[in-house]
Amino acid sequence: MKTAFHILTIGMLLFLTRCVTLYKPNVIYSPLLKEKGELITSASLGLSGSGLYNVQAGYAISNHIGVIINGMYHNRNRSSADSSVEKLNIIFGEAGAGYFKPFRIKKNGLFQFYTGGGFGSTTDKINNTNQPNPEVNAKYFNIFIQPGVAFASKNFEVAFDLRANYVHLFNIHTYLFDNFEWWNTDFKFYSDTTINFMNLEPAITIKAGEGKLKGVLQLGAIIPAINSKSYFDVNNSSMFLLPLIKFSVGVNYTFGRK
């Protein structure tokens, strides 16, 4: 009876946290490179729909070719009345390259197109002193394409980017997962399972400030386009709809601009 009580308690905790999370999108990086030698860095907090901590950089290797890197770390700790704690950890990195071209007479318009991919790992588990701890972990990679247009002035920049993001999860490992029905609601995770889906992620990025230092605000959406059920299977919290809205804030600093 004691074991059954702990299983039920942990199960209700997981039900309230909307079950397993194995994937979170990163904040979209819109570098807005304009000239050779320019290095633009950014750090952002994902407040909704994306991972929590994001660091990004873009470098223009010529007047039209740029490279970008993104890193993300997401964690979540949620406690229940019986001292059970859900611990989620996701770490992810990606890199890409692309083309950019200023346009209009004063060159305050900008077209940019980037593509690339990345790799991540994730663990979601429950810690409880009186019960073996259920756990699910996985690895994943992504491939993306990201066209965008922007308007840029000295102290204000606004960009619209549309990312098509393919994600493939593999090496899924579970421990005691099948014993917790509230956690394992509609989908069984096994070690030989692979999961893939594609999302469309439109985003508006606003950068404003004096000189080379600017504040950054990004508002976007996550639109599950292919295998949408698989996306919700690994990110159950998105069933509340609000996490399908991406919102982040951060800072941006530019090196090398003339």
- Residue by residue, pLDDT tens for the chain (258 residues) are 444 444 444 344 434 444 678 899 999 999 999 999 999 999 999 998 899 999 999 999 999 999 999 999 999 887 766 566 778 899 999 999 999 999 876 768 999 999 999 999 999 888 776 666 778 889 999 999 999 999 988 889 999 999 999 999 998 887 776 666 555 555 556 667 789 999 999 999 999 998 889 999 999 999 999 998 889 888 866 544 557 899 999 999 998 765
**Which residues in 198-228 are b (16+ Cβ under 10 Å) and which e?**
bbebbbbbebeeeeeebebebebebebeebe
Per this entry, what is the length of the chain?
Answer: 258
The domain spans of the chain are 2-255
Predicted TM-score (pTM) of the model is 0.83
**Domain boundaries 2-255, corresponding CATH code:** 2.40.160.20
Amino acid letter, residue 30? S
